[in-house]
Structure 1
Amino acid sequence: MRASRLVSLLLLLQTRGRMTAQELADALEVSVRTVYRDVEALGASGVPVYAERGPAGGYRLLDGYRTRLTGMTSVEAQALVLAGVPGPAAELGLGSALAAAELKVRAALPAELADRGDRIRHRFHLDAPTWFREPEPTPHLAALADAVWADRRVRVRYRRWRAPREVTRDLAPLGLVLKAGRWYLVAAVDGDVRTYRVGAILDLSVLDEPAERPDGFDLARCWQEHADRYERGVYRAEATVRMTAAALEYMPFVFPSAMSRAARAAAGEPDADGWLLTTVPIESIKHGHTELLKLGAEVEVLAPAELRERFTATAHRLATLYPAAEA
């Protein structure tokens, strides 16, 4: 623990220049007395650190002294700074580790590029969650990440959409995936690889049993295959509709991408009034009704008959609520 702190102290002085004992203590989350001892230890080990007296004084390294991360180029260091994701790292219990890594990355940059990390951070920002979605609580994420890293089996109690709503399973965790602000666990169970939403886990315990990984398992490829199957499997029906060209252009802003993409691909040419014929994939009659209502009077459902009947009933109810104004 102390060795890591000494390295952090050295890198702070290297990247920030002169710092007071109090500033170092605040950055390292230790007491000023501990900083004094650590500075003495660095000096005793041959690091040229010295103190400047007076109101503007503090500790600094001898001009020209630098320590570097072996084998890392400045371009690689800049890429790591750009790839930093503080929110997810903190959720995984790696917030302090990420901060330490960023400090080392900055120290790896040559003097003329020392400010590049700050320049990147001030110009690029990654906001992973989608719009209008609150972060999903994941109280067991850090423990799950430890189990993934240590290849230990876990026992989870989680909530699912079908009955029985709460079930308990022993899983061999294989990896964690962050998708659109939500965490998913990829795990082996009963000889199969399945995906679980981490936010649905109600209770978790790490077992004293090794988690065996399937031969040749590739997390990224496995997740992509899962995502492809999900998109293909979730839309089990389709609706034939007439809609305006304006509605077709509006779809990507209010519809899931798979629905708007398919509708645009199947669309015919607009007629003289700007209406066109196309098909839209839907999960169910209820889902199609909910989604297509977003287009209001810019869409007419032609089939299936059950969906058209539901729109007819909705139109009559709306007409009752909003009767035409008398002339």
Structure 2
Amino acid sequence: MQISRLFGIVYYLLEKKETTGKELADRFEVSVRTIYRDIETLSSAGIPVYTNQGKGGGIVILDKFILNKSVLSEKEQDEILLALQNLSAARYPEIETILSRLSSLFKKSDVNWIELDFSPWGSDERNKENFNALKMAIISKHIIIFEYFNTSGVKSLRRVEPIKLIFKDKAWYLKAYCYDKRTYRTFKISRMANIEITEDVFEQGTLVESAAEATDNQFQKNIDIRLKISPAGAYRIYDDFSEKEITKHEDGSFTVIASMPEGDWLSNYFLSYGPIIEAMEPQSLRDAVMSKIEVMMGNLNRKGGPTLRDH
């Protein structure tokens, strides 16, 4: 990653003051030609790095140069460190090293005031491995294969070109070109299993340009919903909806008016609210929830039906 190497070169020069192209090439495991291109990039950015010609010459940084005073304001330093912490939350390669180096260069000792973790509570190692596998497949532009469970619980095998990870409404999704559907699809990562990175590489440039015109199938159409929530439901609705979507009444109950993606998942979602829901619109959503409640009651009340002890 070039940005990591550039900061690494500056950090190394600030410590040693002078080095050689070969020494830097060996340290960062690149060619000497690449190192000299990096030096040109740093010089163009206003960082006083230059080369001394002749015997005993090398790569030098100006003695009195201090990165945190000469190039970036205090506000810019804080913004850069916060941006790196965001990437750190997504476990982006080498970010912890860059963050540590810049914190030292900026003389910032309070960079741990925020911790970002997008993984759900109780998430296991498999979820973390899946996330890292997708991240690396996107970066390296490798086609992946995985099993996917749709909203109806039907499992299918998918082969896709992964484009980007999306964090939307408390969940991670993968935007990808699906060979099976021959179009772009958005997959919920928690429903993906047995992710395999293949050796096949794809050209991402053309795909990203086309993807801008595609519609995410998961978020294609919204419906307006209206809920009456009992006073006991405050803990839930303030987690799931914005304050402007919630109206609190004198008796402590709430009305929620919001727009949500349409699909079978929505009735399953509101089933999880249990008895705190007192009324629901539209009628079609209410009917879907009631139908599932009736099925659940039938299953649980079935005489002579199996119990957990039978399994």
TM-score interval (norm. to shorter):
0.5 to 0.7
Q: 2:237 aligns with which of 233, 252, 261?
A: 252
Q: How many residues align?
A: 236
How far apart, in 2, do the equivalents of 1:126 and 1:195 lie? 24
Distance 1:307 1:124, change over 3 A: same
Check the 8 A contact 2:146/2:159 in 1, yes or no.
no
Partner of 2:20: none
How far apart, in 1, do the equivalents of 2:100 and 2:256 lie? 53
**How far 1:291 moved relative to its partner?**
0.6
How far apart, in 1, do the equivalents of 2:167 and 2:202 lie? 26
How far apart, in 1, do the equivalents of 2:176 and 2:66 lie? 41
How far apart, in 2, do the equivalents of 1:257 and 1:142 lie? 30
Matches within 5 A, 1:103-114: 103=100, 105-106=102-103, 114=106
Matches within 5 A, 1:1-327: 8=8, 11=11, 14=14, 45=58, 65-66=64-65, 68=67, 72-74=71-73, 75-83=75-83, 84-85=85-86, 87-90=88-91, 92=92, 94=93, 97-103=94-100, 105-106=102-103, 114-115=106-107, 117-119=108-110, 121-129=111-119, 132-134=121-123, 137-152=127-142, 154-161=143-150, 162=152, 164-165=154-155, 167-179=156-168, 183-189=172-178, 190-199=181-190, 200-204=192-196, 205-211=198-204, 212-215=206-209, 217-218=211-212, 229=220, 232=222, 241=228, 246-247=231-232, 249-253=234-238, 256-257=240-241, 262=245, 264=246, 270=250, 274=251, 278=255, 283-284=266-267, 287-293=269-275, 295=276, 300-301=278-279, 307=290
Partner of 2:303: none
Which amino acid is the alignment partner of residue 72 of structure 2?
T
Structure 2 gap segments, 5+ residues each: 17-26, 28-55, 259-264, 301-311
Partner of 1:58: none
How far apart, in 1, do the equivalents of 2:137 and 2:293 lie? 49
How far apart, in 2, do the equivalents of 1:208 and 1:309 lie? 44
Check the 8 A contact 1:138/1:198 in 2, yes or no.
no
Which amino acid is the alignment partner of residue 273 of structure 2?
E
> What is the SS of the residue equivalent to 1:156?
strand
CA deviations over 1:200-228 (Å, ceiling 9, x no partner) = 1313224144344153645xx989x7775
Which amino acid is the alignment partner of residue 193 of structure 2?
I
Distance 1:46 1:72, change over 3 A: closer
Question: Please, what TM-score do these two structures have when normalized by structure 1?
Answer: 0.50
How far apart, in 2, do the equivalents of 1:126 and 1:289 lie? 30
> What is the SS of the residue equivalent to 1:215?
helix
Check the 8 A contact 1:156/1:201 in 2, yes or no.
no
Check the 8 A contact 1:148/1:175 in 2, yes or no.
yes
> What is the SS of the residue equivalent to 1:185?
strand
**How far 1:198 moved relative to its partner?**
3.5
Check the 8 A contact 1:89/1:98 in 2, yes or no.
no
Structure 1 gap segments, 5+ residues each: 18-27, 29-42, 49-61, 318-327
Question: Please, what TM-score do these two structures have when normalized by structure 2?
Answer: 0.53
**How far 1:277 moved relative to its partner?**
8.3
CA deviations over 1:166-220 (Å, ceiling 9, x no partner) = x2222222212245775421012244321123451313224144344153645xx
Check the 8 A contact 1:12/1:103 in 2, yes or no.
no
Distance 1:201 1:44, change over 3 A: farther
CA deviations over 1:105-162 (Å, ceiling 9, x no partner) = 346x6xxxx32x322x1433334345x442562424444334323444x141223144
> What is the SS of the residue equivalent to 2:109?
helix
Check the 8 A contact 2:184/2:211 in 1, yes or no.
no
**How far 1:292 moved relative to its partner?**
3.7
CA deviations over 1:215-242 (Å, ceiling 9, x no partner) = 3645xx989x777547x36x8x766x5x
Structure whose CA Rg is larger: 1
Which amino acid is the alignment partner of residue 266 of structure 2?
E
